[in-house]
Amino acid sequence: MRFLRSKAAIPITRNTWRGVGRHLRFRFAAGMLFLVPLILTYWVLRLVFDFLDGLLSPAFDLWFRREIPGVGLVALITVVYVAGIVATSVFGLRLISRLQQFLLSVPVIRPIYSATKRLVESFSGSPVTGFKRVVTIEYPRPGLWTIGFLTSLTNDEEDRPMAVVYIPTAPLPNSGWVAVLSVEDVYDTDMTVQAAMQMVLSGGIVTPGRITKRLLTDTAMVTAGEAPSPALRQQ
């Protein structure tokens, strides 16, 4: 057995430990980058599924006397689809118009329904009540810019033009706050509403390569004196 020689032990030095540390950090970071988006996607979809499924599933659970996962979501999708068919028909348009008139005539329901309806139409890109354009303002301090949506123009007590800007919060743009400020403090951008939505939803990860801004007072919208229509003011 003389020809069998034991291999010399590899000395463990400080550089060896550094190499192992770099290897572990790289693999761990790669694993996190792969797994975290999957886990968050599953978590968000699960929350949405549980919420939507829970809207109608209790009624079906009582009907079938047992819990059937997903039946509430299927029923909700069916109801929304049927409502869409009705809403696009001639009879449905008349029915919805009368229902809206009734809801807007009830003092308690009117402010809630009107605000909710206009907000949903804004996100759907309605040309009447939708977001007019993407703007930016210096907030929370000079030098820091916040993306917002210009919803309307108005005037103050001295008849100076004021801009009403909806400031969304990331990553859910349906929650945010409304700011009323001078048009001189608002800058128009070349971003589309869809691009701004993607920017907010992604937390800034999806961002245009270049954002061009100019004072809102230099746009034809302000120089023409555009303001909310009387119909929108009444709502």
Q: Kindly report whether the global pTM for this prediction surpasses the value 0.85.
A: no
Residue 100 forms part of a structural domain: no
- 171 secondary structure, DSSP code: S
Regarding whether 216 and 153 lie in a shared domain, the answer is yes
Q: Which two tokens stand for residue 60?
A: 């079906």
Domain assignment present for 1: no
Calpha distance 187→221 (Å, rounded): 12
Is 141 in the same domain as 77?
no
Say what the pLDDT of residue 189 is.
Answer: 92
Handedness of CA 37, 39, 41, 47 (dihedral sign): negative
Phi, psi for residue 96 in degrees, rounded to 5: -65, -40
Does the residue 3 lie in any domain? no
Structural Rg of the chain based on CA atoms: 28
Domain boundary among the residues 88, 113, 142 is at 88
Asked if 19 and 43 touch (Cβ cutoff 8 Å), the reply is no
**Residues 156, 230 within the same domain:** yes
Residues of the chain with pLDDT under 50: 1-4, 6, 128-129, 223-225, 227-235
Instruction: Tally the domains of the chain.
Output: 2
Helix or strand holding residue 148 (H, E): strand 145-155
pLDDT at 207: 87
Same domain, 80 and 141: no
Is 214 part of any domain?
A: yes
Q: What is the spatial distance between Cα 58 and Cα 82, in angstroms, rounded to a whole number?
A: 21
* pLDDT for the residue numbered 4: 47
pLDDT for position 126:
53
Domain-terminating residue out of 88, 103, 125: 88
Q: Domain boundary residue among 88, 103, 119? A: 88
- Structural domain contains residue 118: no
Q: What tokens appear for 184 in the block?
A: 């001189």
Cα 83 to Cα 92: distance, rounded to the nearest angstrom: 9
Q: 3-state class of 101 per DSSP?
A: helix
Range of the domain at 28: 19-88
Does residue 167 sit in the same domain as residue 224? yes
